[in-house]
Amino acid sequence: MIMAGKKKDNNCWNKESPKGSCKDDDKLFGRFPKGQFHFSIGYFLIVFIVLSMINTMLAKTPATQVPFSQFKSLIADGTIDRVQLGEHEYLGFPEARGTNGPGVGQLGGQTYKTVPVNDPSFIKLMDEKGVSYAAVDNSGGQSIMVLLNWIIPIALLFFLWRYVLKKMGNVGGNVMSFGQNRARIVAESETRTTFNDVAGVEEAKDELVEVVDFLKNPTKYTAIGGKIPKGILLVGPPGTGKTLLARAVAGEAGVVFFRMSGADFVEMFVGVGAARVRDLFRQAREKAPCIIFVDELDAIGKSRANNIGGNDEREQTLNQLLVEMDGFDATSGVILLAATNRPELLDPALLRPGRFDRQVLVDRPDLEGREAILNIHAKDVKLDKSVDLKEIAASTPGFVGSDLANIINEAALLAVRGGRNLVTMADLHEAIEKTVAGLQKKNRLINPKERRIVAYHETGHALVAAATPGSDPVQKISIVPRGLGALGYTLQMPIEDRYLMSQGELIGKIDVLLGGRAAEQIIFNEISTGASNDLVKATDLARNMITEYGMSERFKNVALTKRAHSYLGGETNQSREYSESTQQYVDEEIARIIDERYEIVLKLLEEQRPVLEKCAAQLLEREVMESDIFIDLLKEENFPVKNLQQ
């Protein structure tokens, strides 16, 4: 949703300007509203320059150091006309030209100085030669020099140190405040998020209802002898709403909410994190009942096992957290909520009963959950009557809450860009494609030959998908470049959520991935680099069938690797537990599966070459082919559509 804001008032002295409206770049030399003053590096530079100038002006005139005997000779021959007698030195000045009294200074000529010697004849000599002399008290000048050279520079360094600490995020800039926690305290009146703002994670919400009920009615549980879990760990992929759930718990219970990231505990100084943990729990006990929420717990809670060398700061912070969780009473009204994407990395001591007693899985939403999330994010967006959020939810399997919120926002921006007052289905579908395939690059110039190769490549994927039983339906074929290096794409969307796949469906996926390269070979009698990503995915599927799913002839029902589960997705750590001869078999079996499936796909497309060429020609003309046009073309050509979902 686009929000309109007031125009910035650059006049920080304007009475109408809101307090604190000046930005950081306006604060170099103290442009603040009246009545406010802030220490700035600009002040430090100005004071330093002024003090340097004062010190230079008050510095003594350079004088030539001479022995006492020579000093007397200079008085005797009339070179020195005036003498300034100090406690630690004598200064001799030549004939005065415009002085303002003894000790004030000399406007010209050479100045001489010497170390005082107890000589009774010295005063008599000056009287005989008519030299004016006077004793000078240097205590005031020495005090000024000490002030300028020591006290003021040290004070300036102190203020500069405070300034640096503030920039580093140290609360209040106090040197001794490193141990203070950085939790952001949200009062009960400020936490307005409730369970009505959370959708798609009904099971997780049900688990947290007890926490809310305990904070509202603790005697209900203590009367029967029950205890609420001390700690609740929210586990799930990024963007599923773990932080939102924690805020909803605080909002429903109406209690103070301490929010802090795991990274906020760790500093470069050993022991700071542990001090912050102690300070956090101390404040929480004072404000009980309350909720402590630690986001990204794996930043301080990583397992200490097999940690060669270790990290003293993180381990001390973790140890203090373990002690604090054991130390506070479950009936005190302090509940610790934490969230992580990497539960497999956490120390076992954290996960045992008595600390984090309950682990709540906040998983990716299903079809109904996605629709509910879309309804929440679309309630303030003006939608066209034709918009069907259920259809959008069906087109976004595997999307999490943050992805769906982004789709609604992107669709609204696309509508504004197109000059429309309402968000249409076309805007939502374009937002989905932008999220899945990347930004459309209509201005990228592609030579005609490469454009034909891309058209046949994508048509090959689509035809094999239509001929493969159980394959996801083809929603769109495009040869408009998108994202990072993608010259075209075939968009397939399942019509329902799937959690299991059969061996035949896995092989069908490999067939669809190989369809692009097979089409290139049939039409152009050569292959290109455009299938590199397809080959990587096909090879990974074949390898997983052999090593993880037990779908090979030699190692039936045997898992050859161990894979650590990760909610972050992408690459996961695998440990190989088989011999070199088995590795050779795995490589040969992967090559055999890929080669067999490629020959089958080649045969299919060779038999349907007229359909391939007609479909590719249509794609070259249109650039984008929707599913209805694609299906109609297949029906006209009597293409053997075996996918019942088409």
* Residues 210-265 pLDDT 10s: 888 887 887 888 888 877 778 899 998 888 999 889 888 888 888 888 888 887 77
**Within a 10 A sphere around the Cβ of 43, how many other Cβ atoms?**
17
Q: Determine if residue 237 is labeled as part of a ligand binding site.
A: yes
Burial of 442 (0-12, 13-18, 19+ CB in 10 A): exposed
Higher pLDDT pick, 114 / 168: 114
Q: Determine if residue 243 is labeled as part of a ligand binding site.
A: yes
pLDDT, position 322: 87
Q: What SS3 state is found at 639?
A: coil
| Residue 211 near residue 249, CB atoms below 8 Å | yes
Q: Determine if residue 242 is labeled as part of a ligand binding site.
A: yes
Does the structure show a pLDDT above 90 at 606? yes
| Residue 280 near residue 325, CB atoms below 8 Å | no
Question: Among residues of the chain, what percentage have pLDDT more than 70?
Answer: 75
Mean pLDDT score across all residues of the chain: 79
Most confident of 83-92, 211-220, 418-427: 418-427
What confidence tier does 644 reach under pLDDT thresholds 50, 70, 90?
A: very low
* Pure H helices in 332-447: 348-351, 367-377, 389-394, 401-417, 425-437
Q: How far apart are CA 244 and CA 258, in angstroms?
A: 14
Q: How far apart are CA 311 and CA 138, in angstroms?
A: 57
Q: Determine if residue 120 is labeled as part of a ligand binding site.
A: no
Ordered by where they begin, the domains of the chain are: 39-177 (3.30.720.210), 184-361 (3.40.50.300), 367-437 (1.10.8.60), 448-636 (1.20.58.760)
What confidence tier does 573 reach under pLDDT thresholds 50, 70, 90?
A: low
Nearest CA among 178, 101, 106 for reference residue 133: 101
- The answer to whether the Cα torsion of 470, 475, 477, 481 is positive or negative is negative
Q: What SS3 state is found at 320?
A: helix
The active-site residue, picked from 252, 315, 458, 520, is 458
| Residue 164 near residue 154, CB atoms below 8 Å | no
Q: Determine if residue 241 is labeled as part of a ligand binding site.
A: yes
| Residue 480 near residue 442, CB atoms below 8 Å | yes
Burial of 34 (0-12, 13-18, 19+ CB in 10 A): exposed
Q: What is the Cα 47 distance to its own chain's centre?
A: 38
Nearest CA among 155, 198, 166, 221 for reference residue 27: 166
How large is the average pLDDT for residues 283-305?
Answer: 84
Q: How far apart are CA 107 and CA 332, in angstroms?
A: 80
DSSP label at 22? S
Q: Determine if residue 236 is labeled as part of a ligand binding site.
A: yes
What confidence tier does 463 reach under pLDDT thresholds 50, 70, 90?
A: very high
Burial of 614 (0-12, 13-18, 19+ CB in 10 A): middle
Q: Determine if residue 434 is labeled as part of a ligand binding site.
A: no
Higher pLDDT pick, 398 / 32: 398
What confidence tier does 459 reach under pLDDT thresholds 50, 70, 90?
A: very high
Q: Determine if residue 239 is labeled as part of a ligand binding site.
A: yes
pTM: 0.68
Structure-derived torsion over alpha carbons of residues 86, 90, 94, 100, reported in degrees to the nearest 10: -10
**Within a 10 A sphere around the Cβ of 186, how many other Cβ atoms?**
20
| Residue 481 near residue 631, CB atoms below 8 Å | no
Q: Determine if residue 240 is labeled as part of a ligand binding site.
A: yes
Q: How far apart are CA 241 and CA 250, in angstroms?
A: 14
Q: How far apart are CA 396 and CA 387, in angstroms?
A: 15
Q: Determine if residue 457 is labeled as part of a ligand binding site.
A: yes
Q: Which residues contact 122 (CB under 8 A, 6 or more apart)?
A: 72
pLDDT, position 613: 94
What confidence tier does 608 reach under pLDDT thresholds 50, 70, 90?
A: very high
**203: annotated active-site residue:** no
Token reading at 235: 């586990």
What confidence tier does 97 reach under pLDDT thresholds 50, 70, 90?
A: very low
| Residue 493 near residue 397, CB atoms below 8 Å | yes
Q: Determine if residue 5 is labeled as part of a ligand binding site.
A: no
| Residue 237 near residue 399, CB atoms below 8 Å | no
